[in-house]
Amino acid sequence: MKSKRLLSLDALRGFTIALMIIVNDPGSWNNTYSPLLHAKWHGITLTDFVFPFFLFIVGVSIVLSMKNIGTSSSTSKILERALKIFALGLFLNVFGKILLSLIGIGDSFGLSDVRIPGVLQRIALVYFACALLLKNSTWKQQLYSMIGLLVGYWALMSFVPVPGVGVGVLEPGRNLAAYIDEMLIPGSLWQGTWDPEGILSTLPSIASGISGMLAGHLIISSLSIERKIVWMFFMGTVFLCVGLGWNTVFPINKNLWTSSYVLYTSGWGCLTFACFIWLCDVLQFKKGIQFGIIFGSNSIIIYALSGILVSFFYTIPIFGEHTINDIIYGGMVNLGVYAKFASLLWAIMYMLLCYIPAHYLYKKKIFIKL
């Protein structure tokens, strides 16, 4: 496991990206099964596991890559990669608006319409922070950093008064994270006055990456594969229990990326990763796993492609005033297919469409790294 590529990590990353595309691209947001929607506020659904799972995988990957090339990777190279991922995220945020503006659909586009936060932007920040932490600390110091971030974020959100709101308020748009977002982030915010990928909530998201780093340290240790899996299950169980306990005073909430949410999702990340290691790297079970491995080999590029194609499938008319989504999803509904099921079928077809270039790149042994 130290010398060869960890197939379980590629598979887990690939299935995570596939699910991310499915939940991001339904046939209709008005007709979507509830597990494929984010929790409205407190609470958690299947969809709410996708992003923290990917950050967990980022943390594991950082440790494994540093093990292969050593911690001598320069800070400038780490910064360069983080900036590339951040820039790609910004591009995805503006691509659709600029395209529609150029072809005369929708409103004119200006700098005030740019949304700076985003999924890839958060991944970039978490990667940068975790890679620097790995270069300059031991695994114990990383664990202490994770605890410090989670406890510190809870203290800030619970005890720092928000002007005009008060102390400890966790309502949408009426909390410390939202106040900082509206005050400091220029341009457009996802929810008008606050953003789920905002400034303050990035701190606990770094803790999500560190949880993956701790799993990565376990993977490269000298323990037997069986003991690694047992310890992974133990670590996941501890995270789950602490997260559920913390939920009673600091509720699990994806939009706020609460400390309980970090531990709960990281706990399931550890348990899921342990199962994938057992299936892929111990039993060498290949049937059905290859799909995830192919998707996971160029994950960020395929995710970016799925975002670029959105405008062409959902917004730009192809036949008269009808988009591809209108024709296919709408056609299924008109034929009598249950609307929510048709919406899911569309999302799966869209994901499989993105699988085609992923499969081509994998077959050609092309692995694009930013």
pLDDT tens figures, 133-190: 999 999 999 999 999 999 999 999 999 999 999 999 999 999 999 999 999 998 888 8
Distance CA 71, CA 217 (A): 13
Decide if pLDDT at 1 tops 50: no
Decide if pLDDT at 370 tops 80: no
Which of 7, 21, 6 minimizes the C-alpha distance to 301?
21
Decide if pLDDT at 369 tops 70: yes
What pLDDT band is residue 191 in, cutting at 50, 70 and 90?
confident
Determine the 3-state secondary structure of 26 from DSSP.
coil
Report the pLDDT value the prediction gives residue 108, as an integer from 0 to 100.
64
Decide if pLDDT at 113 tops 60: yes
* Bridge partner list, 322: 319
Distance CA 168, CA 180 (A): 15
Mean pLDDT value of segment 197-214: 96
What pLDDT band is residue 317 in, cutting at 50, 70 and 90?
confident
Torsion of CA 106, 109, 114, 119, to 10 degrees: 40
Lowest mean pLDDT segment, chosen from 60-74, 88-102, 162-176, 247-261: 60-74
The tokens describing 294, both together, are 């192919």
Distance CA 197, CA 204 (A): 11
Token look-up 């005073």 returns: 249
Report the pLDDT value the prediction gives residue 288, as an integer from 0 to 100.
76
The residue type found at 283 is: L
Q: Cβ distance 58 to 16 under 8 Å?
A: no
> Based on C-alpha coordinates, what's the Rg of the chain?
21
Report the pLDDT value the prediction gives residue 211, as an integer from 0 to 100.
97
Mean pLDDT value of segment 357-365: 93
Report the pLDDT value the prediction gives residue 4, as an integer from 0 to 100.
54
Report the pLDDT value the prediction gives residue 73, as an integer from 0 to 100.
64
pLDDT tens figures, 193-202: 889 999 999 9
Q: E strands of the chain, at which residues?
A: none
In the chain, % helix, strand, coil (3-state, to 5) comes to: 65, 0, 30
Q: pTM of the prediction? A: 0.92
Torsion of CA 277, 281, 286, 292, to 10 degrees: 50
Decide if pLDDT at 72 tops 60: no
Distance CA 137, CA 135 (A): 6
Could you write out the DSSP letters of every residue in 171-209? BTTBSHHHHHHHHH--S--TTSS--TT-STTHHHHHHHH
Report the pLDDT value the prediction gives residue 2, as an integer from 0 to 100.
42
What pLDDT band is residue 282 in, cutting at 50, 70 and 90?
confident
Mean pLDDT value of segment 267-295: 89
* Bridge partner list, 162: 166
What pLDDT band is residue 334 in, cutting at 50, 70 and 90?
very high
Q: Cβ distance 119 to 51 under 8 Å?
A: yes
Q: Cβ distance 197 to 191 under 8 Å?
A: no
* Bridge partner list, 174: 171
pLDDT tens figures, 13-34: 999 999 999 999 999 999 999 9
What pLDDT band is residue 306 in, cutting at 50, 70 and 90?
very high
**Within 10 A of 266 (CB to CB), how many other CB atoms are there?**
30
* Mean predicted lDDT score pLDDT of the chain: 90
Determine the 3-state secondary structure of 109 from DSSP.
coil
The residue type found at 167 is: V
What pLDDT band is residue 104 in, cutting at 50, 70 and 90?
low
